[in-house]
Structures are given as C-alpha cells and as structure tokens.
Amino acid sequence: MDKKTVGLSGGFKGQTTPKSFIKNAIKGTKHTIAISSAKGGVGKSTFAMNFALALKAVGSKVGILDADIYGPSLPKMMSINEKPKSEDGKSMVPVDQYGVQCMSIGFLVDEETPMIWRGPMVTSAIKTFTQKVLWNDLDFIIVDMPPGTGDTQLTFAQEIKVDGVIIVSTPQEIALSDVRRGIRMFDKLKVPILGLIDNMSFFKTEDGKNYNIFGEGGVEKLCIEYKKKFLGKIPINIDLRVAADGGTPLVEKDPDHKISKLFIEIAKKIKKNNF
Amino acid sequence: MDKKTVGLSGGFKGQTTPKSFIKNAIKGTKHTIAISSAKGGVGKSTFAMNFALALKAVGSKVGILDADIYGPSLPKMMSINEKPKSEDGKSMVPVDQYGVQCMSIGFLVDEETPMIWRGPMVTSAIKTFTQKVLWNDLDFIIVDMPPGTGDTQLTFAQEIKVDGVIIVSTPQEIALSDVRRGIRMFDKLKVPILGLIDNMSFFKTEDGKNYNIFGEGGVEKLCIEYKKKFLGKIPINIDLRVAADGGTPLVEKDPDHKISKLFIEIAKKIKKNNF
C-alpha cells in the first residue's frame, strides 16, 4: 500500500468475499423474487406492491414479505392494521389483503415505533419471517428489500434460494452509483438478476409536456454495461402515489389505469421469461 | 399477550430502551450536525452538501462526514477521486474540496464496489471516521446519515456528542411514517432535533404551474404534531439535481441561484438560533 494514501485493510477486504451456503426456498412458496434498489426512495415499495398485485391479476398465488425492518411500507400501502394470528405462539399466519398473503415488522409494533436495532437483531427478524411464517401454497413470494448492501441482503443471499432480483432505480446519476453496487453485490453473491426497472422515469404535465426530472436513459445504459435485461420505464404518476398513500395499490384500485397496465405487462413478461 | 396474535417478545422489546453513554465531540470539530431522514431517497445528501457549503458561505469552517457506508454520495456530489493521505498509516487526513474537509467510505474503495457488510463492520467504519480522521479546526461537521434507525444512528447517538439533527423529508405520506420513527428515535436517544425540512416540496414547470408531485403540507403538520421547528421548503429543481450529479453542489456552482439562496437562509437561521 502506498504510504501516503490509505485503503481498506486486508481484514476488511476479506469480508467482501462470500463463503458458500446451503440455500432453501421459503417454506410454502415456489418462487422467491426480491425487489431491490440499493438506494432508498426510488419507489421500490410502490413497485413491489403493484407488481405483486399484477402477478395475482395474471393468475398466480402471491405473498409479500416486507423485509425493510427500519422502514416498513407494507402496512400503510396495503392498509393492514391487524396483528398476525398464531396458533402455537411460535409461528405466524400471514395477513390476507386483496387476496395476497402479507407479512411486515409493522404488524408487530405500532406505526411510530422506530426499530432502533443493530444488525444481528435485524438478521434475527428476517430469519423469523422466512422460517416461522406459515406462507400457504404460494407461486411467488415478493420480498420488498431495504436499501443498502448489508445484513438483510446478506441473510437472504446466504440462506434463502432467491430465484431472482428485480432492481428498481430512478435514472438519476447519483442513484445509479448505488445500483452499480447493488448489481455487483448480487452478482458476487450469485443471486440471479431478472432485470432493471427505470422508475420515476419522467413526469408528464396535464398539457402533455414531459419533464425528465431525474435525468434520462441512465438505467438502460446500465443494463447494456452490465448485460442485464431492461424491463421497462414507469413514469412519475400522481395517481400511483396517491393510491399507495391511500392503502390500495393502483393495480388493485384501478386495473385499467394505463400505469396498472404497465405493471401487468411486466408481470406477464417476468412469468413467461423466467418461470 | 393475546394468544391469538403475536407482538415482539420481551427480549426484543428490551433492546429498544437505550442505556446511557459518555459522549464526546468529534476531535477537531466544535459542533456536529447530523442530516437524517430515516427514509432514503428524499434528497438528504443533496441537502447535506448544499447546507455544508451554505454554512461555509456564511463564514464557518466546515467538514462533511459521509456516514452512509452502503450508499456513499459524497465522492460523486463533491467530485472527489483521491484517496485520503495518511502520515502514520493509522489516521487519515480529510480531503479538501471547495474549502470543505471531506471524508467518505467512497474514498477508500472504487465507486462500484459494494460494501457487503454486516452491522458490526459498519459500526467499526463509523468509529474510524469519527476517531481516526484529522479534522482540522472545524466550526461545524455535517454528518450525512444513512437511511434507517440502525447501527450508524445508534453509534452516533451513543458515542458522539451530536449537537443537533436536521430531518429531511418529502411531503409524501409513506415517507412521513419513516420520519415519525426517526423523530421518535432521536427523542428516545436524547439527540436534539433542530428542525425539519420539506424537500422536493413541489415542482414548478416552465410556464409557472405548480405540481405537488409528492403531496402537500405533510412535513409542516408533522412539526406541529411533534412540536419541532419547521425549517422551510425546498422545491424539486432540475438545476439542483444536475449540479449534484455534476459534482459541484448548486450553492458552490451558482450562489446567486434562487435555490442556493434558500440554503443560505437556512444556514443563517440554524447558526443564529442554535449556535
């Protein structure tokens, strides 16, 4: 190492090389699809909920596992206010909403309670959700991943058979740096990437003018760079946001909306090409 | 506990009650201000960089510590491509850019390398950045916090004298749930909250029409609910985003821009009311 500059010490570097692990499917489910973004706030949870409902709309049995322990979005986006039932005090029955089986840390604590937890506690919660929830005969479980490349991602990659990841990003340069790191993490951990979504792609005003608020074309370029599939663009849309805030995702609330149709197209494509 | 529903077990609950700790200021700095959001992607890093440069513009000596280990934004937003120097191989000299002392995990690894680290590694990196960096005679160190309420937040709250937190949010309902949790975390950990910023507040088109893309008024309402100071609104602005993507934050690139003036006003207000 150059005496005048510093990098990571050898010990730290070693930690980025993964060992190999035995991976099992989540019990009661056929396929696990993780929705990831590395960066937060790119509309990943809105995508996850609508994508899950789109898979249901095309005939699959679907569950959603909200793996974002620090910032669970599922309870609000799917308007669920009940605690999961338990027959034996150990396992949990997922909560059914709009015909989808759901689980979130937000079901176990009230909405405003922060989970001020260090990593090992997060890992333990993720293990509970993947091992102690009685998912029932699902074709797909959609996992809404937290931002980052830490405990939750590692736990899934090492212990769960994840059939594929969909990476959601806005086209903004600074978001794309995080996505690059996300792609390299999943490649390194040998989790297949199904493709990338360009979210909040543009904003169309009432008089039909398009604004590339977050830039343009960045996600497509990244797909070429890393040889990943480009799964499509979803524009910024106020109906989509209002439906998520209101507790009924747009695909469920208004399946004929042009944005809902985009989700249904993506769901069909994913099913046809991968499963 | 109701036999039919499950909550958190006692052991888990206990973990949310903090112990008390001895807190020291970061060496070489007078005041530590953390920029936080609980939720990612609300423009926290863009705010942090521009706010730091605004404090510099009003006469303070400023440093920025990028505490987002999984998604460092500082190297790109401040266009820094060099590794920090070290005289003894243990401590690090922060990198000077635009008259601001900077440190980020992004200086130590190449841009695309994901930090696939579990919590304890993150804690260790944060300790290095607060204990082994030779910050030099700073009035303010601005800490760009990661999303969430986990290891990084806990490490700062327990071991560092944080003089205040500025919480940045978009006005969207689903972001506000995360902000509620953030407020309660800092209150619980006894870190003073200086106030809240309503970011990406609205989007003004070229013909002067305003769109409340992410909703309206939510952050102000939250300030009333939790008795916190409302520090102002910053609209969605393409110049602001382009400057951040381009590596020279708008306050530095064009201090007379109307958005730069907003940042400078906020910096003056924070300095006058709190320090």
The interface residues of chain A toward chain B in range 93-132, judged by CB-CB distance below 8 A, are 108-109, 111-123
Q: Which residues of B touch A187 (CB under 8 A)?
A: none
pLDDT digits (tens, 9 = 90+) for B204-256: 999 999 999 888 889 999 999 999 999 999 999 999 999 999 999 999 999 99
Q: Which residues of A touch B245 (CB under 8 A)?
A: 172-174, 215
* Angle, vertex CA B46, rays to CA B45 and CA B52, nearest 5: 85
Q: What is the mean pLDDT of residues B181-194?
A: 95
Q: What is the mean pLDDT of residues B48-70?
A: 97
Q: Is B171 on the interface with A (CB under 8 A)?
A: no
Q: Is A83 on the interface with B (CB under 8 A)?
A: yes
Å between A117 CA and nearest CA of chain B: 5
Å between A31 CA and nearest CA of chain B: 24
Label residue A5 by pLDDT band (50, 70, 90).
Answer: low
pLDDT digits (tens, 9 = 90+) for B103-148: 999 999 988 899 999 999 999 999 999 999 999 999 999 999 999 8
Crossing angle (nearest 10°) for helices B119-131 and A119-131: 160
- Nearest-angstrom CA–CA distance, A229 and A183: 12
* Largest Cα span, chain B: 63
Start-end of H helices in chain A: 10-14, 44-57, 74-77, 119-131, 151-159, 173-188, 218-226, 238-246, 250-253, 258-274
Cα atoms in the 13 Å half-sphere on the side-chain side of B43: 26
Label residue B1 by pLDDT band (50, 70, 90).
Answer: very low
pLDDT above 60 for A11: no
* Angle, vertex CA A200, rays to CA A195 and CA A202, nearest 5: 115
**Residues with Cβ < 8 Å from B50, sequence gap 6 or more?**
B240, B249, B250, B251, B260, B263
Q: What is the dihedral of CA A142, A145, A150, A153, to 10 degrees?
A: 10
**What interface predicted TM-score (ipTM) does this complex get?**
0.84
CA distances (Å), origin B23, targets A113, A255, B223: 24, 54, 27
Å between A132 CA and nearest CA of chain B: 12
User: Other C-beta atoms within 10 Å of B33: how many?
Assistant: 22
pTM of the model: 0.89
Interface contact A15-B146, CB threshold 8 A: no
* Partner-chain residue, chosen from A39, A148, A245, that has the shortest CB–CB distance to B173: A245
Q: Cα-flanking dihedrals φ and ψ of residue B196, to 5°?
A: -120, 145
- Nearest-angstrom CA–CA distance, A224 and B69: 27
- Nearest-angstrom CA–CA distance, B112 and B117: 15
pLDDT above 90 for A163: yes
Tokens read off for B224: 């009333």
pLDDT digits (tens, 9 = 90+) for A76-106: 999 999 999 999 989 999 999 999 999 999 9
What's the confidence (pLDDT) of residue A175? 86
Nearest to A130 by CA among A109, A111, A103: A103
pLDDT digits (tens, 9 = 90+) for A27-72: 999 999 999 987 888 999 999 999 999 999 999 999 999 999 999 9
What's the confidence (pLDDT) of residue B3? 46
